[in-house]
Structure 1
Amino acid sequence: MSKEESLDNLYKKIDATSKTRFHASRRLKLHTKCSTYTVVLISLSLILIALMQAYEIGNNIESELVGLIQVFSAIAVLVYSLLIDKNDYSNSSEKMYSCASRLGELKKKMHPLIGTEHNQEKYDELRIEYDEVLRLYETHSNNDFRADYVQAKLEMPENYTIKGLDWMVAKAYIFQKLLFNFLSYLIVIIIIGWVICWLWFGTQPLSS
């Protein structure tokens, strides 16, 4: 029996995959919330700009660019709505969570066998069950995210020794990947905030 085919190694794989899917589920659920809030924020901004026009509030509300801003914002709402529907973050999150839960049950089933004498028949049975769970909850490759796996490894000190500088590098890597993954929402918030401030408090129109 090779080390690769040991029950301990299979348990380690299942544990890592389970934790990775849990992290992916939480990340995708956050994407669902951020996408929805972004659409709501853009829509509220459109309403606010319309009210500012109606009551002539704001130093730059009479600017020719206001119409362009409103059209662009309406297009942005449509694009974000289409992206939410296409990426289906909510459904993917549920799949990831269900997969992680099933793998958690498989881990409990395997745990009493860890450290015991190798049983090839039992190993093959558990490996097949593991593969079936992964196939059952197969998700699109776009939802694969290495930072989820790195987070899972940090939660498995019994299998992965990550300390000192390596631990700090791993944390920085996770932060960087998550930042870029959610950067679009932050950019939208900054742009909306800047536009509203310019319309309300700006002293000089952007166009002559």
Structure 2
Amino acid sequence: MGYCKTFLKWLFCLKERERTVKTAAEKLQMSMRVTAKCRYNAAVRLQRQGAFAFFTTTSLSLGLIFIPLIQSAGVSLSFTPDVLNMMQVFLAVSVLVYSVVIGTSRFEVRAETLTECGDKLKELIRSIDKDKETKIVFSNDDLAAYQERYSDIVTDTENHIRSDYGLATLEMNRDYFFCGLPKFKIFLQANIQRGFPFIVPIFLLSIEVVFITDMIGITKVLTKYL
């Protein structure tokens, strides 16, 4: 009976899910730690999106080059020249669109800015820890000064999204204590939200792969429709 009760408590996380803070300074530090972790998670997310967008553009460009080359080689192909020309136009437009997306989204620049924000927050947290060694209690003026520095740091960068915060709470084991179904729910929701930007490029890459394999006769998925 005891094991069953313990398991149910773990499954539904029937306990404190957040570390109790005793002072305003600890609460401020905890907020800084969470924000810093969220900024780092956001930077990683943007780096992955940028890398995958570059991979998508490169793959589509290679497909755009491969089709006329295989036509020139005199190999027997499953599609008519009109269909092949249509696909080349589609790939060319896709490459153009993704080149614009990469240029306007500035994934690397934004990721670097978010990383710098996280680094500055960590420096501020260490500064508070150092001041704790000489001060037993922080005055309201001290806290206001820390809060102002905190606000100055975070307002210079874009905000993180909900998935960044969700993953941060799962990774910060000393401050958050999620387990069982609530932990799985946060993990699932965060990764689903992070996966949305990859749906369109994966779809385009899938079309390209299927078309090329159909074209050279390896598969026959689209040949009966085109």
Quote the offset at 1:63 in angstroms: 4.2
Report the CA distance shift for 1:125/1:58 in structure 2 as closer, same or farther (over 3 A): farther
**In the alignment, residue 72 of structure 1 is paired with which amino acid?**
F
Say if 2:124 is the partner of 1:124: no
1:145, 1:193 → 2: CA distance?
33
**In the alignment, residue 81 of structure 1 is paired with which amino acid?**
S
Question: Could you tell me which of 182, 194, 205 is aligned with 1:178?
Answer: 194
Say if 2:30 is the partner of 1:31: no
Structure 1 partner of 2:94: 76
SS in 2 for 1:182: helix
Quote the offset at 1:194 in angstroms: 0.8
* Percent of matched pairs sharing the same residue: 22
Query: What are the superposed Cα offsets for residues 160-187 of structure 1, whole Å, 9 maximum, x if unpaired?
Result: 2211111111111122112223222221
Q: Note if contact 1:42-1:77 (Cα within 8 Å) is conserved in structure 2.
A: yes
2:136, 2:167 → 1: CA distance?
29
SS in 1 for 2:56: helix
1:200, 1:172 → 2: CA distance?
39
1:6-155 equivalences under 5 Å are 6-112=24-130, 113=132, 116-136=136-156, 138-139=157-158, 144-155=160-171
Q: Note if contact 1:20-1:148 (Cα within 8 Å) is conserved in structure 2.
A: yes
Report the CA distance shift for 1:42/1:58 in structure 2 as closer, same or farther (over 3 A): farther
Specify every segment of 5 or more residues in structure 2 that has no aligned partner in the other structure, as ranges: 1-20
2:59, 2:22 → 1: CA distance?
51
**In the alignment, residue 214 of structure 2 is paired with which amino acid?**
W
1:148, 1:58 → 2: CA distance?
50
Specify every segment of 5 or more residues in structure 1 that has no aligned partner in the other structure, as ranges: none
TM-score by length of 1: 0.88
TM-score by length of 2: 0.81
Report the CA distance shift for 1:58/1:9 in structure 2 as closer, same or farther (over 3 A): farther
Q: Note if contact 2:57-2:99 (Cα within 8 Å) is conserved in structure 1.
A: yes
Q: How many residues align?
A: 201
Structure 2 partner of 1:163: 179
Structure 1 partner of 2:9: none
Query: What are the superposed Cα offsets for residues 25-69 of structure 1, whole Å, 9 maximum, x if unpaired?
Result: 111111111111111100100111011110132432434211111
2:76, 2:192 → 1: CA distance?
38
Say if 2:213 is the partner of 1:206: no
